Amino acid sequence: MTSNDSARGTLGIGEDGTFRIHFERHLPYRPDRVWAWLTEPDLLQQWLPGCRIEPEVGSAVRYDFGEEGSATGTVTTVEPPTADGAGRLIHGWVWEGVPESEVVWELVPTDGGTLLTLTHREVLPEPAAEFAVGWHVMLDALTLAADGSPEPVESAWANLEQVAAYYAS
C-alpha cells in the first residue's frame, strides 16, 4: 500500500454541498502507457477486475465489485494523450441508491513520468468517504500492476482496513 501522505486523496465540499474526491498519483511511465492501463481491457483487468471502460464517447462503463455492488456510467469525454502527453477521460458513476456523479481521469506529463489525477465529483457526503477508500485502494492496485508486482489486486485490497482507518482520522 502507498502509505505516504502524497497518495492520500482529499475530500472537499463544493458550493452545492456535494463532495469532491481528489487524488494525484505520480507514475514513472509516459502518459500513453498510463492511458493504456486505464483503457485496454487486458491491462485494466490486472488492477481492476470486473471493470470495463471503453475509450469512446457514449460507451458504457461498468465497475463490478461482486457482493459489494457495482457502478455503471457512460463515457462523456475521451481525449487520449496527445504529442505533449496530456489526456483526459470522463464518465458517469451510478451506484445503487446514490445520485449520479462524475469521474474524471487526467494525465499530465512530468519530468519523471505522468501525474495521474482522479477526481470524483458531485458525490453526496454519506458515500464520499467510502468511495475515497475504494479509489485509494484501486489506485494502489494500478501502481502495483504497472510496476509488475505479483497479485496487485490482492496486495492492495489486503490493506483495506489500514486505508479505511487513514480516512477515518
Predicted local confidence at residue 148, as pLDDT:
95
| 59 domain-assigned | yes
Residue 120 has φ and ψ, to the nearest 5°, of -110, 110
**Is-contact 163 139, C-beta < 8 A?**
no
| 104 domain-assigned | yes
Q: Alpha carbon of 3 to those of 59, 164, 167: distances in Å?
A: 35, 12, 12
Q: What is the pLDDT of residues 2-17, one digit of tens each?
A: 445 557 888 888 778 8
Q: Alpha carbon of 162 to those of 3, 149, 158: distances in Å?
A: 9, 20, 9
Q: What is the pLDDT of residues 3-59, one digit of tens each?
A: 455 578 888 887 788 889 999 999 999 999 999 999 999 999 999 999 999 999 999
| 36 domain-assigned | yes
| 56 domain-assigned | yes
| 156 domain-assigned | yes
